[in-house]
Amino acid sequence: MASARFFRYLAPNLITLSSMIFGLVSLWSAHRGDAPLAAWMIIYAVLTDRLDGLVARAVKGTSELGMQLDSFADFLNFGVAPAYLVLVYLSGHPDLPYKDGGTEHTLLFAACGAYMLCAVFRLARYNVLSDDQIPTKIFFGFPTTLSGGLLAIWILVLLKYDPRPELFGGAFGGAKLLGDSFVTPLWVWKYMPIGVVVMGYLMASRLPMPKVGMTKNKVVSVLLLSLVVTGYVCGFAMKYPEICVGMPTIWSVMFLFWGQASPTWRAMYPPPLFPKKEPARPMVRPQADIEDIVLDESSLAGEPAATKPEV
């Protein structure tokens, strides 16, 4: 019985730990100049991040340890890995001003660093909430999984349609579904640090966004399930990033505007970050009173009085 319980809790945690290996491979791939593999490893981490939650609920293996491991994995996979990928790729791009150690390179580093800090801030803010404070149907701000996954999948699309074949253009990801006439303009890479900062802000913000889930409408539920399954197939096969990019992008844009247009959603606020009042301090007896008690108890017991040791 004890061994069965152990393996029940172990199963989802092993999936979480495996996703951290994907994050490590992503960092290694970005360092050695293989940007497509680095981005695909982040997508692998996105897919396994969904699996560990499904497995934990299916086997009733949710635990505090699993929640903490999940936060560490999210920080590595969707906070550090995407920021490092953007930093390494753009600073090594021969046609961009980020290569030399000038002002542009400093701004790129600041943008990637800000994104990483926003990710860790969001995860820490979530971890300090009690169970009754965690919303069940909405997110406040973009989840780290969505932000890191969007950065990675858009990088894959841009790399696939880059007009320079010697730098990954068209060398991966299956056939070009958008056609050979569609090419990635250079200015997109040039202004990508702005997009990184925006994604970081969306993570740290309190903007409401509904969680993806099945609805009472069977047609919508079937459509959502089909898109999710297609994303998993294309993601694990490392093919057709232009298919994977559609659903999360449309969902994010649509509900980003919806959350601000709806008075009900706009009125929602996340729990406060810090306590509204100072916690009650325990009553501490002054040191002089404590010494008096020691003296009194010693004298009552017929023992020599305790003396204060010399310092």
Q: What is the predicted pLDDT for the residue at 27?
A: 97
H/E stretch holding 307 reads none
The pLDDT value given to residue 287: 54
Among 57, 193, 71, smallest CA distance to 121 is for 71
164: its two tokens: 């320079």
Any idea what the CATH number is for the domain that residue 8 is in? Answer: 1.20.120.1760
Task: Decide which of 110 and 164 is more confident.
Answer: 110
Residue 124 scores a pLDDT above 90: no
Q: What is the pLDDT of residues 171-204, one digit of tens each?
A: 677 888 888 888 889 899 999 999 999 999 999 8
- Least confident among 26-30, 76-80, 304-308: 304-308
Residue 65 in domain: yes
The larger pLDDT score, comparing residue 78 to residue 94, is at 78
CA distances from 232 to 35, 135, 178, 243, 305 (A): 20, 26, 20, 11, 76
pLDDT value, residue 152: 95
Any domain includes 282: no
> In the predicted model, what is the mean pLDDT of residues 305-309?
45
Residues 6+ apart with CB under 8 A from 115: 79, 82, 83, 196, 197, 199, 200, 203
Please tell me what DSSP assigns to residue 38: H
User: What residues make up the domain containing 215?
Assistant: 2-266
Q: Which two tokens stand for residue 54?
A: 């499904």
User: Do 232 and 244 contact (CB within 8 A), yes or no?
Assistant: no
Q: What is the pLDDT of residue 193?
A: 95
Does residue 132 fall inside a structural domain?
yes
Residue 82 neighbours by CB distance under 10 Å: 30
Look at residue 297 and tell me if it is in a domain: no
Tell me if 274 is assigned to some domain: no
- Residues 194-250 have pLDDT tens digits of 999 999 999 988 887 777 665 566 776 777 777 788 888 888 888 889 888 988 888
Residues across the chain? 311
- Residue 209: inside a domain: yes
Residue 296, domain member (yes or no): no
Global pTM reads 0.81
Q: Does residue 123 form part of some domain?
A: yes
Angstrom CA distances, 115 to 66, 157, 164, 202, stand at 25, 21, 28, 10
> 285 burial class (0-12, 13-18, 19+ CB within 10 angstroms)?
exposed
Question: Does 298 have pLDDT greater than 50?
Answer: no
Return the pLDDT at 40: 94
- Structural domain total, the chain: 1
Residue 149: closest CA among 77, 219, 63: 77
- Higher-confidence residue of 239 and 301: namely 239
Place of tokens 């930093």: 87
